[in-house]
Amino acid sequence: MFAYAGSKQDGALASYEAALERERQHPTLKTQAYLDYPCFVAEAKMESMYARAIEVLAINRDRPMFPVDRFRAHGARALLLYYLEREEEARADATLALAAAQEAKSGFRYHQGVGLVRSTDDEFAARVAALAR
């Protein structure tokens, strides 16, 4: 769980929004802000930002992703939906997150180990797994 003071959280959110805006202005520039932002909001339980975090994930849902990216995207979405009391949708996304965590190949011809989920031994993964049940 994040233990940031309000102003630090606000600064982090502003930085994520700036990164997302920069990507929008320069489509060839890609960062992990589209994943980091929703994960940050979910982990910090920033209730006022749940809808925006889900929107960020939705805007970027067609982006090519490694298994670890799908794990983070579906996991964050599952937590956010759960917080919004949309439990059935949360369970579905949690199940997709766990499926991504189990993938053994990246899909790249010569780099099958790139972008895999290396560990699910953290609080985020445990909370997502609990939702999948």
Q: Residue 18 belongs to what domain range?
A: 6-132
pLDDT at 2: 46
- Local structure of 85: helix, strand or coil: coil
The predicted-structure confidence for 96-132, as pLDDT tens digits, reads as follows 999 999 999 988 888 999 999 999 999 999 999 999 9
Instruction: Please report, for the domain that includes residue 49, its CATH number.
Output: 1.25.40
Is 31 contained in some domain? yes
**In the structure, what pLDDT confidence band is assigned to residue 7 with cuts at 50, 70 and 90?**
confident
Is 109 contained in some domain? yes
Sign, CA dihedral 52-72-1-13, equals negative
- Token couple for 128: 């997502």
Question: Would you say residue 86 has pLDDT above 50?
Answer: yes
Give, for 123, the enclosing helix (H) or strand (E).
Answer: helix 123-132
Is 1 contained in some domain? no
Q: Structurally, how many domains does the chain consist of?
A: 1
